[in-house]
Amino acid sequence: MLPDSKIPEGPLAEKWEKHKFNVKLVNPANKRKYDVIIVGTGLAGASAAASLAELGYNVKAFTYHDSPRRAHSIAAQGGINAAKNYQNDGDSVFRLFYDTIKGGDYRAREANVYRLAQVSVNIIDQCVAQGVPFAREYGGLLANRSFGGAQVSRTFYARGQTGQQLLLGAYSALSRQVAYGKVKLYTRSEMLDLVVVDGKARGIVTRNLITGEIQTHSAHAVILATGGYGNVFYLSTNAKYCNVTAPWRAHKKGAFFANPCFTQIHPTCIPVSGDYQSKLTLMSESLRNDGRVWVPKAKGDKRDPRQIPEEERDYFLERKYPAFGNLVPRDVASRNAKQACDEGRGVGTTGLAVYLDFADVIKREGADKVSQKYGNLFEMYEKITGENPYELPMRIYPAVHYTMGGLWVDYNLQTTIPGLYATGECNFSDHGANRLGASALMQGLADGYFVIPYTIGDYLAQTAPTPVTTQHPAFAQAEAEVRERINKLISIKGNRTPTEFHKALGHIMWEYCGMARNAEGLRHAKAEIQKLRKEFWSDLKLVGTNEELNQALENAGRVADFIELGELMVDDALHRNESCGGHFREEYQTPENEALRDDENFAYVAAWEFAGEGKPEILNKEELQFENVKLTQRSYK
Amino acid sequence: MAGSNPNAKPMNLTLKVWRQKNRNAEGQIVEYQVKDISPEMSFLEMLDVLNEDLLHKGEEPVAFDHDCREGICGSCNLFINGRAHGPEKGTTTCQLHMRKFSDGDTITIEPWRANAFPVNRDLSVDRSAFDRIIQAGGYVSVNTGGAPDGNEIPIPKPVADRAFEAATCIACGACVAACKNASAMLFVSAKISQLALLPQGQVERKTRVENMIAQMDKEGFGACTNIGQCAAECPVGISLENIALMNREFISAKATSNNLA
Amino acid sequence: MSWISNTFSSSIGRKVIVAITGLFLCSFLVVHLIGNFQLFKDDGGAAFNIYSHFMGTNPVIRTVEWGLLLGFVFHIYESYTLAVRNRAARSVAYVDSRPSQNSPWYSRSMALLGTIILLFLLVHMYNFFYRARFGDLDPDINNNADLYTLVYSSFKQWWYVLLYVAAQVALCYHLIHGFRSGFQTLGLNHRKYTPLVRIIGYAFAIIVCAGFAAMPLYFFFFKPELAH
């Protein structure tokens, strides 16, 4: 059963203030008696580690990278939203809250989102104080831009490297606490299981990726800040190591997994060029401000795009959505691109791409002007594809970018396992069924800097400050399970590599649980995934041992968990008989091919409960209450 | 193509790869052949092909560091044909594409070599020395909460821009790898410059440079002799100006700080 | 006063010493060059011998001489220490390294160039300085020690001329890198002036070394037999 989501009583704007007063505090002298484990050192993890250490807790921070600074938060380009209203253009906490709820297609909790909008302003202040070099106006004040179709300019940025600069800010704060001895940093250490003692999260099992050593670590509370699971699709804009193992292990130990099928697809990515493709690269959405999306009208037209005359081109977004044109939301742009390709009108050798053409704007404004706006993106495109976008139209295709689903958490960011918290992309809490541009960085840092330091105290204050050791048999048992699983993986000695299984899974997920889904396809996918899972455990090929740097072994463990998650995603997508945000069920659309929500029956969070191996997962529903916004159907015609 | 280059023919290549079982083992160059490499592949995808091949043959794949594969995380670090990150200027290994090579080429691939970067295995090295240098002072000591409003500290745009340029360092270590002296001064100076330029960094300006340089020396990096190999190979274009600034910071800190140690 | 020793044993501290002494030695080169231009005077060496007598006996010069010696000692010692440390920073060499694609050879060869210059200096000092100061040169018409004749006879030997010219080539490359490098190490860097420093460094290196190299070449090729 789903526990209470602990949303404070009272008017929306006062909930967080009230809650901060009502949570229990840990005596300052006692804080050093509490250990907290934080898994993941991206924005959400590093900010939490630094902030908790500053408060006096003993933090143990874990990352599978060689340094906390490598987390994939670093790759976020666009920016970070904050309701500062520095631009005097009508922004406010409520507007950011409203935009986020609406953008999430009314599948997020009002209270969480409002809090996110409230603390957004503190994040900017904090980052500036750390020395994050945000873009500035000539007068020396912070610059903003409008992002992702927002009506106000509330996005703070550092050229196209905002994620990098914010992460390095959090990393520097973390490094300072490492130097003080308040954070013990474990690099190249991958969490392979959660240790639950008497129903409470009390530690983790890790594998040292260099030596293969399996270790157990204890603490009074555990925070998972391990990012999203977009790599379940094999190809995504996520980094290669991004995986679901930590939250998935926690899920199997009792943490509910919420809305796993809510996946965000980003329309402007560089398309796949061949089977060897290992990942996809995102290009900023801003390109759609000036680029025109088109495909040839005729199927299989393989002419050089420059030789296709105007009347034989189909500018399908402009044709279908005259009001918004090329600036329709991400999911609409993505689905239409897929549709054009499914009709056989895709371009490039794979036929899985559409053109994004800058010829008009270059003619209108000149190449210089265009280069000022998009120079670095054009350069990046040319580096990867070898084509010059000043001469040839870019080819783009949608790719998986962000996962809104994640571990279910209450208002305190605590999962269904007491003492286990989830922050950042790892939890499900703030973006509903779709995330606004420039909101991922905001949420990661909000959770880490300004939410968890308060809410974890509430739990710790009710926990005895006596040392937690790894002596409890639950630790030995979890460690033994981890060892057994690794041995099993190594001893299969089949014929297919982990990457081959991963690609096969990705193919199923992308085809049937990607941009557009239908019941029949999802049922087919479920059967396919189950088959793949059996094959994985009987035909996996690995070389070498556990006691060494063995990247194929690391990968195999992650793929095994992705396969299980994939099945749950399919279940979730199949049960949600509506379309909303990133979840588009073909059976549920308006006559204009818009997502058709069913607020009557599906205005809830689907929190899945692991019921044991081989048993179907149990669906728990958290009904969403909307007291401050009116649910509307969007239209971009 | 996938894209527009239908003439791109697959290539066959000879790879000479450094193999080393672990930190303490002896390493050696081992030769491999890879076939049907598409010019559209990234360099790391070419290594993926090799590794899948090795795995199928029951041989141990080549270990190498990588993650984001879009040139920003700083994980990838290969010394390719005698150059840090290979032949293309301003490019990380993951953004290097095989169209820069030709059919029949022999490509030598080695790990970064510096005593401060011990080899973990094959092409993967331990760059934790960089983290320890940052821990020695690469931060502004502000706790969470209590920061003044972001606009209370106006920063001239040119200063903010210069600080940003220094702050874009991805800590890949190419500067160390390329430097004849295995010096880390470009890396260290990038962080020192960023914070020395910004008003937020002023409070700890002197102790920061003293402590970071001390840690850098302790890690066993060489000393800069102003050759400029670091900046020439830096994938994100960190400038030598930063090293000059760091030297200036160091000299003035040593001359005027209250630190008697 | 551990901070002093700590400062100057740190990597940057040592670099600073190399830079300061290097730029100081550059100033010596200028003085030395200008003085030695007396060699070109067609007076049978009288002016040059007056000059060398002055340099050998003037108490101010004799004092500064010690500073010069210290300059050399520190420049050489600190450079050597840094070179050893830098070599030790990479004990396993690359199998395939192509530094020529990212940097000029002379910048990477400062220790080698410096060593060549040092060897030259030893020969140079023994032949001229030592023999002028402690040897027994014949007096010239003004009763100054006749260093000029020694210079003349030395520069009439082809191998000696070759050694000098080669050393000046080495010095030239050493200076091209060293001059701007000294400024960089001292943090004297500015977007406005650094390009100028580079140009001056090039000009300085070429003019000074060409000037010094001209002397043996002049004697060898153009100077007729001395009339005694």
Residue where a domain stops, chosen among A401, A424, A449 = A401
Where in C55-146 does DSSP place strands (E)?
none
Instruction: Count CB-CB contacts under 10 A for residue A634.
Output: 13
Report how far apart, in Å, the C-alpha atoms of B124 and of each of A14, A165, C125 are: 51, 25, 52
What pLDDT score does A476 carry? 98
Domain containing residue A495: CATH number: 1.20.58.100
With CA atoms as reference, the chain C residue closest to B109 would be C96
Largest Cα span, chain C: 64
Q: Cβ contact (<8 Å) for B150 and A67?
A: no
- Collapsing DSSP to helix, strand or coil, C27 comes out as helix
What digits encode the pLDDT tens for the residues C168-224? Answer: 999 999 999 999 999 999 999 999 999 999 999 999 999 999 999 999 999 999 987
Contact at 8 Å (CB) between A75 and A227? no
Where in A153-270 does DSSP place strands (E)?
155-156, 183-186, 189-197, 200-208, 214-218, 221-224, 257-258, 263-269
Residue where a domain stops, chosen among A590, A610, A630 = A590
Mean model confidence pLDDT for chain C? 95
Report how far apart, in Å, the C-alpha atoms of B215 and of each of A65, A463, B221, C188 are: 22, 39, 10, 24
Q: Phi and psi for A422 in degrees, rounded to 5? A: -135, 135
- Separation between Cα atoms, residue A270 and residue B95, nearest integer Å: 13
- Separation between Cα atoms, residue A170 and residue A366, nearest integer Å: 40
Q: Cβ contact (<8 Å) for A142 and B150?
A: yes
Q: Tell me how close the Cα of A517 comes to any Cα of chain B, in angstroms.
A: 26
- Collapsing DSSP to helix, strand or coil, A387 comes out as coil
What pLDDT score does B4 carry? 44
Report how far apart, in Å, the C-alpha atoms of C192 and of each of B193, B197, C189, C198 are: 18, 18, 9, 11
Task: Tell me the residue type at C85.
Answer: R
Q: Would you say residue B7 has pLDDT above 70? A: no
Contact at 8 Å (CB) between A233 and A265? no
A478 lies in the same domain as A577: yes
- Separation between Cα atoms, residue A54 and residue A453, nearest integer Å: 10
What digits encode the pLDDT tens for the residues B179-205? Answer: 999 999 999 999 999 999 999 999 999
With CA atoms as reference, the chain B residue closest to C107 would be B227
Instruction: Count CB-CB contacts under 10 A for residue B257.
Output: 14
Q: Cβ contact (<8 Å) for B241 and C189?
A: yes
Is C165 in CB contact (< 8 Å) with chain B?
no
Q: What is the mean pLDDT of residues A556-576?
A: 98
C135 pLDDT band, cuts 50/70/90, is confident
Going by beta carbons, is chain C in contact with chain B, meaning 3 or more pairs sit under 8 Å apart? yes
- Separation between Cα atoms, residue B22 and residue A636, nearest integer Å: 58
Q: Cβ contact (<8 Å) for A128 and B150?
A: yes
Task: Please choose, from the candidates B244, B131, B252, the residue with its C-alpha nearest in 3D space to the C-alpha of residue B185.
Answer: B244
The share of chain A scoring above pLDDT 70, in percent, equals 100
With CA atoms as reference, the chain B residue closest to C11 would be B223
A56 pLDDT band, cuts 50/70/90, is very high
Is A136 in CB contact (< 8 Å) with chain B?
yes
Contact at 8 Å (CB) between B92 and B170? yes
Q: Kindly state whether residue A336 falls inside one of the protein's structural domains.
A: yes
Domain that holds residue A396: 267-401
Eight-state DSSP code of residue C185: H
What pLDDT score does A150 carry? 83
Of B113, B245, B247, the CB nearest to C92: B113
Q: Would you say residue A469 has pLDDT above 90? A: yes
pTM reported for the whole predicted model: 0.96
Report how far apart, in Å, the C-alpha atoms of C112 and of each of A156, A205, A352, C72 are: 52, 54, 58, 16
Q: Kindly state whether residue A490 falls inside one of the protein's structural domains.
A: yes
Q: Would you say residue B1 has pLDDT above 80? A: no
Chains in touch with C (≥3 Cβ pairs < 8 A): B
Give the A window 514-573 contacts with B, CB below 8 Å. Answer: 541-544, 548-549, 551-552
Q: Kindly state whether residue A102 falls inside one of the protein's structural domains.
A: no
Is B200 in CB contact (< 8 Å) with chain A?
yes
Q: A488-512 burial, b if ≥16 CB within 10 A, otherwise e?
A: ebbebeeebbbbbbbbbbbebbbeb
Tokens of A540: 């996996």
Is C100 in CB contact (< 8 Å) with chain B?
no
Q: Cβ contact (<8 Å) for B39 and A386?
A: yes
Q: Cβ contact (<8 Å) for A65 and B6?
A: no
- Separation between Cα atoms, residue C51 and residue C45, nearest integer Å: 10
Task: Tell me the residue type at A414.
Answer: Q
A388 lies in the same domain as A285: yes
- Collapsing DSSP to helix, strand or coil, A38 comes out as strand
Is B170 in CB contact (< 8 Å) with chain A?
yes
Q: Tell me how close the Cα of B226 comes to any Cα of chain A, in angstroms.
A: 27
Task: Tell me the residue type at A164.
Answer: Q
Is A388 in CB contact (< 8 Å) with chain B?
no
Q: Would you say residue C105 has pLDDT above 60? A: yes
The set of catalytic residues of A is 330
Q: Kindly state whether residue A282 falls inside one of the protein's structural domains.
A: yes
Q: Would you say residue C225 has pLDDT above 80? A: no
Mean model confidence pLDDT for chain A? 95
Q: Kindly state whether residue A612 falls inside one of the protein's structural domains.
A: no
Q: C95-112 burial, b if ≥16 CB within 10 A, otherwise e?
A: bbbebeebbeebbbbbbe
Q: What is the mean pLDDT of residues C34-47?
A: 93
Give the B window 180-219 contacts with C, CB below 8 Å. Answer: 180-183, 185, 213-214, 216-217
Count of domains in chain A? 2
Chain B / chain C CB contacts < 8 angstroms: 145
Task: Please choose, from the candidates A192, A337, B215, the residue with its C-alpha nearest in 3D space to the C-alpha of residue C12.
Answer: B215
Q: Which distant-in-sequence residues (6+ apart) come within 8 Å of A556 by Cβ?
A: A489, A498, A540, A542
What pLDDT score does A374 carry? 87
Q: Cβ contact (<8 Å) for C189 and B216?
A: no
- Half-sphere exposure (Cβ direction) of A298: Cα atoms closer than 13 Å: 10
- Chain B hits for C7, CB-CB cut-off 8 Å, are 254
Q: Kindly state whether residue A492 falls inside one of the protein's structural domains.
A: yes
Domains of chain B listed by start with CATH number: 11-121 (3.10.20.30), 128-256 (1.10.1060.10)
Of A66, A136, A168, the CB nearest to B167: A168
Eight-state DSSP code of residue B108: E
A593 pLDDT band, cuts 50/70/90, is confident
Domain containing residue A313: CATH number: 3.90.700.10
C111 pLDDT band, cuts 50/70/90, is very high
What pLDDT score does B5 carry? 52
Contact at 8 Å (CB) between A104 and A581? yes
Of A68, A74, A178, the CB nearest to B72: A74
- Separation between Cα atoms, residue A346 and residue A298, nearest integer Å: 10
Q: Kindly state whether residue A9 falls inside one of the protein's structural domains.
A: no
User: H-type helices in B23-172, by residue range?
Assistant: 43-56, 128-135, 157-167
A284 lies in the same domain as A376: yes
CA quadruple C64, C69, C72, C73: dihedral sign:
negative
Q: What is the mean pLDDT of residues A98-109?
A: 95
Strand partners, B33: B14
- Collapsing DSSP to helix, strand or coil, B100 comes out as helix
- Separation between Cα atoms, residue C52 and residue C55, nearest integer Å: 5
Q: Cβ contact (<8 Å) for C96 and B110?
A: yes
User: H-type helices in A386-451, by residue range?
Assistant: 440-445
What digits encode the pLDDT tens for the residues C78-94? Answer: 999 999 999 999 999 99
Contact at 8 Å (CB) between B209 and B250? yes
Q: What is the mean pLDDT of residues B230-236?
A: 98
Tokens of B191: 């962080």
Task: Please choose, from the candidates A573, A484, A561, the residue with its C-alpha nearest in 3D space to the C-alpha of residue A525.
Answer: A573
Q: Would you say residue B3 has pLDDT above 70? A: no
What digits encode the pLDDT tens for the residues A263-273? Answer: 999 999 999 99
- Separation between Cα atoms, residue C144 and residue A169, nearest integer Å: 72
A584 lies in the same domain as A478: yes
Task: Please choose, from the candidates C52, C116, C108, C47, the residue with its C-alpha nearest in 3D space to the C-alpha of residue C83.
Answer: C108
Of A276, A279, A544, the CB nearest to B41: A276
Q: Phi and psi for B179 in degrees, rounded to 5? A: -70, 135
Q: Cβ contact (<8 Å) for C88 and B180?
A: no
- Separation between Cα atoms, residue A555 and residue A551, nearest integer Å: 6
Q: Would you say residue C74 has pLDDT above 70? A: yes
What pLDDT score does A246 carry? 98
A331 pLDDT band, cuts 50/70/90, is confident
- Collapsing DSSP to helix, strand or coil, A411 comes out as coil
C227 pLDDT band, cuts 50/70/90, is low
Q: Phi and psi for A617 in degrees, rounded to 5? A: -70, 150
A277 lies in the same domain as A395: yes
No. of H helices and E strands in chain A? 17, 19
Q: For chain C, what are the domain ranges?
A: 10-85+106-222
What pLDDT score does C226 carry? 65
A492 lies in the same domain as A396: no
- Chain B hits for A304, CB-CB cut-off 8 Å, are 4
What digits encode the pLDDT tens for the residues A176-231? Answer: 999 999 999 999 999 999 999 999 999 999 999 999 999 999 999 999 999 999 99
Q: What is the mean pLDDT of residues B63-87?
A: 97
Q: Cβ contact (<8 Å) for B99 and A386?
A: yes
Is A75 in CB contact (< 8 Å) with chain B?
yes
What pLDDT score does B2 carry? 39
Eight-state DSSP code of residue A82: -
- Collapsing DSSP to helix, strand or coil, A399 comes out as strand
Lowest mean pLDDT among A146-160, B143-157, C164-178: A146-160
Q: B89-101 burial, b if ≥16 CB within 10 A, otherwise e?
A: eebbbbbbbbeeb
What digits encode the pLDDT tens for the residues A493-510? Answer: 999 999 999 999 999 999
- Chain A hits for B130, CB-CB cut-off 8 Å, are 67
What pLDDT score does A147 carry? 83
Q: Would you say residue A583 has pLDDT above 50? A: yes
Instruction: Count CB-CB contacts under 10 A for residue A319.
Output: 11
Task: Please choose, from the candidates A456, A454, A458, A439, the residue with its C-alpha nearest in 3D space to the C-alpha of residue A123.
Answer: A439
Q: Kindly state whether residue A346 falls inside one of the protein's structural domains.
A: yes
The angle, 0 to 180 degrees and rounded to 10, between the axes of the packed helices A110-130 and A162-180 is: 70
A395 lies in the same domain as A485: no
Is C181 in CB contact (< 8 Å) with chain B?
yes
